[in-house]
Amino acid sequence: MYLRRSPRRLRTGVTLLSLAALLVSGCSAEGSTSSAGSTAVAALAALPRATPSGLSPYYGQKLSWRGCGVTGFECATMKAPLDYAEPGAGDVRLAVARKKATGRGKRLGSLLVNPGGPGGSAVGYLQQYAGIGYPAEIRARYDMVAVDPRGVARSEPVECLDGREMDAYAQTDTTPDGQRETGELVDAYKEFAQGCGAHSPRLLRHVSTVEAARDMDILRAVLGDRKLTYVGASYGTFLGATYAGLFPDRVGRLVLDGAMDPSLPARRLNLDQTAGFETAFQSFAKDCVRQPDCPLGGKGAPPAKVGENLKAFFRKLDAQPIPTGDPDGRKLGEALATTGVIAAMYDESTWAQLREALTSAMKENDGAGLLVLSDSYYERDADGRYANLMAANAAVNCLDLPAAFATPDQVEKALPSFEKASPVFGEGLAWASLNCAYWPVRPTGEPHRIEARGAAPIVVVGTTRDPATPYRWARSLSRQLASARLLTYEGDGHTAYGRGSACIDSTIDTYLLHGTPPAEGKRCT
């Protein structure tokens, strides 16, 4: 399904998500929590404290730092075992970047950051945002560090389709009408999966979140830190929580912002995220009709009517795509338009851009604005090249959990529940949840709780109207983690830190600088 990732990507002009990711879901804070079902799944077991002898060469390696071509940053390559069960079976090479602490005060160590995805480049996030945009006092006291997880960006990226093939894939109709269109969607998923299997056969079995978390522990040791200090957003919270579960005694100051719930199966995750996007759309709709340029309804129009108007527009595009001026000849059909709208749900600062794009498409027959939003989500550049975001996203998700659906018939039966969760997006998001059914590698993970007993206090952050990581997930994760403190942001958008709330920012900064977690039940606006 759609990605769990930091909205700052869109802010800085880089991007957001995709129609064939995996995860989905999201209900409001008032809905029932998932914690009731959490007791039925096992807890992630901590690894032995002693480092296995076969891993000693990795933990003892020295990084050779060099210039990155980005002022103020250094880069290096770290080795990790391809297969932790057989450390002698080969290596995977991981890209690491850092910006050293700039202040004269006592250095607090390394602060590792991850923006989410899965598939988002942590190195890119560090160089484009965290290393220059985090509070000055944080950057003064910490070496800011990032590692692209295995299979992502600069770390032996998983490859699946070329640019032209990805163009076709992104335009595949995910609201099929009849058997022919259903067959075309299934064929697209199969082609994508087969491409991944053909281009990345060695790595595809070893890009799980557990393996990426173990890589982070090697990096912690190589950097000379006794404990890990970490800020993870969106999927980065799953990665950070997994680290805590595996290495609770090595947890330093962990911030998990826009938290995921590891206890849920893929279908429930997808259903929850579908409801989360509906929650975000309701907020957008209420705001839209208060603006003079809303193309989806006049002043006072109820959100349900705004949604009906958008759905009617999507149906028109399904029957007749409109021009975009794209040099490669792409037109705006329902699939690309839906992705463009969902991309704008991640951050309320993008709502004005969405209104303008919808106005151009609906009233001027010009789909360029929505195509820009969709391309930003897919990380497609002006030359038609795609980052490996979508490939890595599917590779990690399809390995971490069994598929949400195994057949189109299962999707058909589940459509009513998805359409109830979101009348606007439910049908498309249900069909998007089918992508892992055809994956060439069997999953190695299962739903599980993460307790991390014995860990230092961990700050879990949830946003009440988060579209991609619903607030209920933060509540559930905070109840699973033995040492968690839940910090709530009452607002819109995906994640909370660095998005304009002085209360959130100061609370997290105090924790990172002084180790003081927020009070139980702290809420911010």
Q: Which residues are catalytic?
A: 234, 466, 494
Q: How far apart are CA 5 and CA 113, in angstroms?
A: 13
401 in Cβ contact with 22 (< 8 Å): yes
Residues contacting 174, CB < 8 A, separation 6+:
19, 185, 335, 338, 428, 431, 432
2: tokens are 């759609």
Report the DSSP beta bridge partners of residue 93.
Answer: 79
Angle, helix 163-170 to helix 334-344, in steps of 10 degrees: 90
Rg over CA atoms, the chain: 22
Angle, helix 163-170 to helix 368-378, in steps of 10 degrees: 120
User: Where do runs of H (alpha helix) occur along 163-257?
Assistant: 163-170, 178-199, 209-222, 235-246
Burial of 86 from C-beta contacts in 10 A (0-12 / 13-18 / 19+): exposed
Listed as own residue / partner, the contacts of 67-72 with beta carbons closer than 8 Å and 24 or more positions apart are 68/97, 68/127, 70/127, 72/99, 72/131, 72/132
Q: How far apart are CA 180 and CA 173, in angstroms?
A: 11
Q: How far apart are CA 108 and CA 196, in angstroms?
A: 41
User: Where do runs of H (alpha helix) occur along 300-367?
Assistant: 303-319, 334-344, 351-364
Phi, psi of 496, deg, nearest 5:
-130, -35
Phi-psi group of 102: left, alpha or beta (phi > 0 → left; psi -120 to 50 → alpha; rest → beta): alpha
